[in-house]
Structure 1
Amino acid sequence: MVDKVEVGAEGRFLTVGFADGSEARFHAVWLRDNALDPATRDPGNGQRLITLGDIPAETRIASASGAGGVVTVRFAPEDKEVAFPAEWLARHVYDRAQGRAPGWCEEGVTVWDGSTGQAYRAPLSDLQGRGAVLADWLGAARATGCALSTDGPVESGALLEVVKLFGYVRETNYGTWFEVRTEVNPTNLAFTGLGLQGHTDNPYRDPVPSLQLLYCLENSAEGGESILVDGFNVAQKLRDEMPEGFDLLSRYCARFEYAGSAGVCLRTRLPMIELTPDGALRTVRFNNRSSAPIVDVPFEDMETYYAAYRRFGELVDDPANQITFKMVPGDCVLFDNRRLLHARTGYSGSGSRWLQGCYADMDGLLSTWAALQGSQKEAAE
């Protein structure tokens, strides 16, 4: 509901007062561009039917009123009237303080450490019902960066059933999926029994795969526990401890490369800590095995850069920032590869450890999550 609707000077903006006592201003051109009427947006898919060039540059608000939770605006010179639900306006307020320190997280992201983090668990059969359980599971993956399905079939390729819950496999030079187990003369250190430091996968790709899945088929070896680290938490800790170091890791590009198999030579030049233009954490790239010589940092900053790089690695290795768990056959862990680092403890030659992995994209997960939320809302109404 609204308790105030006031047209600003010369009709350039509109001030709306909401029932909770808050107020927000909306520019005339912004309101007109985001009009919800069927002549502006397709009622079926919501896409715009006009371009900004179709809106008069001199657009102004001729009049406005509010009643029954709806704000009605008449635009000049078109003499066009558009109704905006107050709830919609409240969800799209941009009239707020923008001065946040670099390294903040977008709404809905829950940063965690070893004492607060855990992977949301649900049986695969419950997730395949595509109801509230799947919505909660996907929502947890979005918020914390990870989720775990359990009790799945113990058969090769079963991880594709998990991907089908929300999207599609992103195929790479490693194939539709890849095996994670001890190999003779491996093309990648992941295919050995060595312990691995927390890392993000494929930093040598642009764009990097945004989701990774690891599905357990065997895990009777001694050791081989899985470890997850919230890279956003580590980045914020580095920012608080070493502001200059955080600035250097986010301002200068690192380099990554992979050429471990015939016909493949992948290279990127991107920051270890990537921020959006307004300073939100976007992507963490940390993989010592795939790091190439760093040559984009000025001489006078290189020592401080390396001190920050070292401290970032120490925070990744700190058990206080890790969650550790032993996967059992039928488990599948899904995690945001742009944010979470994954690791494992070493394992011995007795017994066996066999995981299959693949990549997918976050947009499919978010789309499925949003669609499920919409379906649940409609059912409730």
Structure 2
Amino acid sequence: MTLPARISLPVALRPARGALTTPRVCATPSRTLTFPAAQPHYARRFHVSTNTKQRLRLTGNQSQLTGPYNTSPTLKATENDTALRKEVEDLKELVAKLQEEREQLVATKGGIPNTIEPTLGERECISQDAPLFSDAKLDAQWVKLIPAPEAEDTKLMILSRLWLRDSCNCPKCLDPDSGQKTFSTTDLPEVPATSRDNVRVRNDGSLEIIWENDPISNGESHRTVLSAGELNLLYHNNNPRIQLQPPIPRTLWDNASYTDLVRSGACHIDYNDWRNNDEAFWTAFEQFTKTGLIFLKNVPQEEHSVINIANRIGPLQYTFYGWTWDVKSKPRAENVAYTNVFLGLHQDLMYHDPIPRLQLLHCLANSCEGGESLFSDGVHAALQLLNTDPEAYDILTKTDVHFGYDKGGHHYYATRKTIEADPNTGAPFITHWAPPFQTSFPAKDKNNRLRRWRDAAEKFQRLLEKEENMYEVKMKPGECVIFDNSRVLHGRREFETSTGSRWLKGTYITPQVYRAKETELVRRLNKGKPWPVDSTEERGRIWQLERDMVKQRKK
């Protein structure tokens, strides 16, 4: 079926902004059939022209298809208007096709639920194919984008001419091979030249600007085009090209819940699958972004195996310990981890910048008595503290704690909050806990901050170290653990060196490298499209889910 370029669905068939493309329909044929938040894939970009709107009135606030087989919306139109009749006939044909698809779904699936929830991989970004803007106006230094009539909640968006010219991603401005800019922003004039006739929103919702006397084009004209999807992402996020996080709630865990995940087959993967099986790797990596803790099995007993595992995510982080390091008991150890004594829960390198985001430990030997590994979800404990003692939580989110390392010619120092909270929602998202590397508070402390922090920190530590909150496992040779050093604390029970040996090979990955892999995950889940950055409202919703989950677990 060929449809005219300027036809529209009735209001009931238009998508809400950010709506999923899966239609919502009534469960039984006897009820009114409406599509309040969906749009068929073959009609995403249709809209009603201003001229047609003046001649076509939809009865009521929302056109509906009443009855199981009535596919004719109630319309009032000029009887002699042949063009309008053609549009209405095409619209009837489109609605009939929708009715046919619905009946096929009912026949094949035995009924349709009121809401069809997609899997994560089927989600799409906000209004990716539904243009928000229909016109553009040129101002002295700005281009003003006028919201499309059907984008009811969209506001005017104003972009500077300099930003638009600087953001051109055509092959002349952005090298197709390297993806790098071919010019400097300073090569552009303060206000790139164009005219009113050379600025327009095209029928597909994209913005086209033809620049005049363009210096990058040796004084000739130059065309910049931003797609409807780019404009939509820009409207919602201000910067659609930054690194992205998967918009999925974290799985906050305690011992029982993490043990259940492991028993269900989650949170572990075979070494060969991690390295060579894309589907298995991305499934495992998505699980890791939720829990922050995963184990690899059947890892070759070779020192470089941990490098192979890390490189599946990205380059290693170099520190003064080297690219990799050995966790072994030895005399005069430069790190408490290199002894056989009990090692309490902590996070690594709180004095370093950047703090390693991921830590990997490959077990090469563990035949001695003791030496069980301990893990605890710091964000889970932080939410427990917020639920039970908001005042203590507040102190830990506002008090600077001092960390340092000063040995062997290495001098490092940093201050961190014990709990980093989202400034908009107050939700915890990072913890900083490393008693062995904590240095002194300032000596002059009129407000008694040390005492107040100490009392709050003790409550937090009790939650971290509660037996029901810690996951304990004795790693075996051929296993490798990866954990998120920004939220998962680790420790180790004392071990007896006279009964055997214990050797772990470790390495780190930086926050930026990890975020790059997260961004790749987002794009894979969203089939190559960039995903909008979570809004404050969305972060608040996810946080409330996490907080409720922790409260429920406490009960």
Once the two structures are TM-superposed, the CA of residue 188 in structure 1 deviates from its matched residue by: 2.5
**Counterpart for residue 276 of structure 2:** 129
Mark the CA change 1:319 to 1:84 in structure 2 (over 3 Å): closer, same or farther: farther
Counterpart for residue 99 of structure 1: none
Larger CA Rg, structure 1 vs 2: 2
- Structure that is richer in helix per residue: 2
Q: CA deviation at 1:160?
A: 2.0
* Aligned counterparts, 1:2-13, within 5 A: 2=130, 4-7=132-135, 13=144
Q: How many residues align?
A: 368
Deviation at 1:213, TM superposition (A): 0.9
Say whether the 8 Å CA contact 2:132–2:148 is kept in structure 1.
yes
Report the CA distance between 1:339 and its aligned residue. Answer: 2.6
Is structure 2 residue 222 aligned with structure 1 residue 86? no
343, 349, 353: which one aligns with 1:196:
343
Unaligned runs of 5+ in 1: 97-104
Higher mean displacement: 212-221 or 271-280? 271-280
**How far did 1:256 drift?**
1.2
Give the drift of 1:352. 3.4
Distance 1:31 1:125, change over 3 A: same
Cα RMSD (Å) of the superposition? 3.9
Residue 398 of structure 2 corresponds to residue 262 of structure 1: no
User: By percentage of residues, which structure has more strand?
Assistant: 1
- 1:218–1:309 distance in 2 versus 1, CA, 3 Å: same
1: CA distance, partners of 2:503 / 2:293: 20
Highest relative contact order (Cα 8 Å, sep 6+), 1 or 2?
1
SS of the equivalent of 2:507 reads strand
Q: How far apart, CA to CA, are the structure 2 residues paired with 1:18 and 1:304?
A: 56
Partners in 1 of 2:225 and 2:404 — Cα distance? 53
SS where residue 495 of structure 2 aligns?
coil
Deviation at 1:264, TM superposition (A): 3.1
Q: Would the aligned equivalents of 1:4 and 1:16 in 2 still touch at CA under 8 Å?
A: yes
Equivalent pair of 1:198/1:343 in contact (CA under 8 Å): yes
Structure-2 change in CA distance of 1:36 and 1:344 (3 Å): same
After superposition, the C-alpha distances for 1:169-204 in whole angstroms (9 at most, x for unaligned) are 333333333222333343322223333222101112
1:339 maps onto 2:487 in alignment: yes
Deviates more, 1:17-26 or 1:339-348: 17-26
Cα 1:129–1:348 shift into 2, 3 Å = same
> Is 1:27 aligned to residue 158 of structure 2?
yes
The alpha carbon displacement at 1:374 in A equals 6.3
Aligned position for 2:507: 358
Q: Distance in 1 between matches of 2:194 and 2:446?
A: 53
**Aligned AA for 1:310?**
E
Q: Alpha-carbon deviation of 1:309?
A: 1.6
Q: Which runs of 5+ in 2 are unaligned?
A: 1-128, 215-220, 239-244, 529-555
Cα distance in 2 for residues equivalent to 1:95 and 1:368: 20
For 1:311, the equivalent position in structure 2 comes to: 459
Change (3 A) 1:163 1:82: same
Matched residue type, 2:130: V
2:246·2:519 contact (CA, 8 Å) conserved in 1? no
Q: 1:134 to 1:55 in 2, by over 3 A?
A: farther
Flag the 1:81–1:174 CA change in 2: closer, same or farther, 3 A: closer
Does the CA-based 8 Å contact 2:367-2:502 persist in structure 1? yes
2:398 is the counterpart of 1:251: yes
Residue identity opposite 2:282 in structure 1 = A
Equivalent residue letter for 2:509: A
| Greater displacement, 269-278 / 139-148 | 269-278
Match in the other structure for 1:101: none
3-state secondary structure, aligned to 1:14: strand
Q: Deviations over 1:200-235 (max 9, x none)?
A: 011122222222111111223343332222323333
- Shift of the 285–95 alpha-carbon distance from structure 1 to 2, 3 Å rule, reads closer
Query: How far apart in 2 are the matches of 1:241 and 1:57?
Result: 56
Taking the aligned partners of 1:116 and 1:34, their CA distance within structure 2 comes to 47
3-state SS of 1:156 partner = coil
1:231-310 equivalences under 5 Å are 231-259=378-406, 261-274=407-420, 283-295=430-442, 299-300=446-447, 302=449, 303-310=451-458
1:19 CA displacement: 8.8
- Aligned match of 1:71: 206
Structure 2: how far apart are the matches of 1:47 and 1:367? 17
How far is the alpha carbon of 1:330 from its aligned partner?
1.0
Flag the 1:42–1:17 CA change in 2: closer, same or farther, 3 A.
farther
What is the DSSP-based 3-state SS (H/G/I as helix, E as strand, rest coil) of the residue aligned with 2:370? coil
Q: Which amino acid aligns with 1:138?
A: F
Offset of residue 153 of structure 1: 1.0
Q: Sequence identity, in percent? A: 24
- Write the deviation string for residues 255-280 of structure 1: whole angstroms up to 9, x where unpaired: 11223x43333322333334577677
The answer to whether structure 1 residue 37 and structure 2 residue 182 are counterparts is no
TM-score, reference length from structure 1: 0.78
Is 1:217 paired with 2:364? yes
Q: Offset at 1:331?
A: 1.0
CA distance in 1, matches of 2:326, 2:210: 60
- Checking the alignment, whether the CA contact within 8 Å between 2:351 and 2:403 is kept in structure 1 is yes
Distance of aligned partners of 1:89 and 1:234 in 2 relative to their CA distance in 1, 3 Å threshold: farther
Contact 1:128/1:165 (<8 A) preserved? yes
**Distance in 2 (alpha carbons) for counterparts of 1:111 and 1:338:** 14
